[in-house]
Amino acid sequence: MKRRNFIRNTAASGIAMAGLGSVVGAAASETVASNSAQFKLKYAPGLGTFRASAGDDPIDNIKFIADQGFTAVFDNGLAWRDPGMQEKIGNELARLGMDLGPFIVYADHGKKYMVTNDQEVKDLLKKKTTEALEVQKRTGAKTGLITPGLYDERMDWDYQTINVIENMRLCCDIAGKTGLELVMEPLNHQVDHPGLFLTKMSQSKMICVAVNHPSCKIVDDFYHQQITEGNLIMNMDLCWDYIGAFHIGDNPGRNEPTTGEINYKNIFKHIYDKGYDGTLCCEHGKSKGGKEGDMALIQAYREVDSFEI
């Protein structure tokens, strides 16, 4: 084993054990212990994930998340927050050296929009993307999320694909001015989102290749893709150059890792070994309520983060 890997492995093992002890102790005493043992990857809890332990204030949530060893957060609704709060969030993340996962630029799962060649839709997408640049400026966000909406049963599929490509390129031309990446999210249609246009990783990569813009990326949501197509590691590798972020959630149930069928420990080791340095958003619920559920979630991430390096 290389010397630097040996040193890193030894340090990580000690940190992981110390972190797990802190979490278990916190659960046992029903108090929250500070935990500076950082995770190996940038798992990003949502700002409302630990409401039972940290309350409703976003800044208090960020501090709590950092105390538990996480080095990133995400907030789907960041663009809808007051500009003053956006700045506070950005400043606190910068102070703590934490990353911020993708926020929603535009996503409406009940409408047809990007599959159309409609000037009103183009104007809307321009407006939303331009507004996203202001959010980026206030928060330091690197990534925004966008979905193409519903497909049109009366339009040839290939024409819809062409429209999505052209609309996505329009958005990326705006986002690219400040280096904001736009991640498209393929979602499952079997359980949660029937009728959506974008469902598969291969379909998403095809659009990225056609858009041919550095801001055009994919968010690989393991919960959705386990339902849609499986082969999570294979599809991840085939789309690797276009993945801008990950979403986490176990299946069935869409709760924290270890509660379903996905082997997250192996997946996270694979991601780590590939050198990924971006965010992995904890876009899921909790299998238990209250502070007990908060601690169970943290312990689950300690477990799946305990892979050897």
Read off the pLDDT of residues 64-110 as tens digits, 9 standing for 90 and up.
999 999 999 999 999 999 999 999 999 999 999 999 999 999 999 99
Say if 4 falls within a structural domain. Answer: no
pLDDT band at 14 (very low <50, low <70, confident <90, very high): very low
Residue 206 has pLDDT above 50, yes or no: yes
- 280 lies in some domain: yes
CA distances from 188 to 168, 192, 198, 225, 250 (A): 20, 6, 9, 7, 14
pTM equals: 0.89
* Total domain count, the chain: 1
pLDDT level of residue 24 (50, 70, 90 thresholds): very low
Can you give the pLDDT at residue 36?
Answer: 65
Measured CA to CA, the distance from residue 29 to residue 20 in angstroms comes to 14
Domain contains 78: yes
- In this prediction, residue 156 carries a pLDDT of 98
Tokens standing for residue 277: 């340095």
pLDDT digits (tens, 9 = 90+) for 131-171: 999 999 999 999 999 999 999 999 999 999 999 999 999 99
Q: Is the pLDDT of residue 7 over 80?
A: no
d(CA 194, CA 102): 23
Is-contact 217 182, C-beta < 8 A? yes
Residue 24 counted as domain residue: no
Q: Which of these is catalytic: 92, 181, 256, 283?
A: 283
> What whole-number distance in Å separates Cα of residue 290 and Cα of residue 146?
32
Q: CA-CA distance, 203 to 183, in Å (whole number)?
A: 13
Looking at residue 153, the DSSP 8-state letter turns out to be T
- Domain span at residue 96 reads 39-290
* Residue 32 located in a structural domain: no
Active site residue 283: yes
The answer to whether residue 22 sits within a structural domain is no
Query: Is residue 28 situated within a structural domain?
Result: no
pLDDT band at 198 (very low <50, low <70, confident <90, very high): very high
In angstroms, rounded to a whole number, what is the distance separating the alpha carbons of residues 140 and 66? Answer: 17
pLDDT of res. 247: 98
- Helix and strand counts by DSSP (H, E) for the chain: 11, 9
Q: Is the pLDDT of residue 115 over 90?
A: yes
Active-site residue among 185, 229, 256, 303? 185
DSSP letter (8 states) at residue 244:
E
Q: What pLDDT, on the 0 to 100 scale, is given for residue 13?
A: 40
CATH number of the domain bearing residue 215 = 3.20.20.150
Condensed to tens digits (0 to 9), the pLDDT of residues 215-242 reads 999 999 999 999 999 999 999 999 999 9
Banded pLDDT at 51 (limits 50, 70, 90): very high
Residue 5 domain flag: no
185 in active site:
yes
Residue appearing with tokens 């238990």: 288
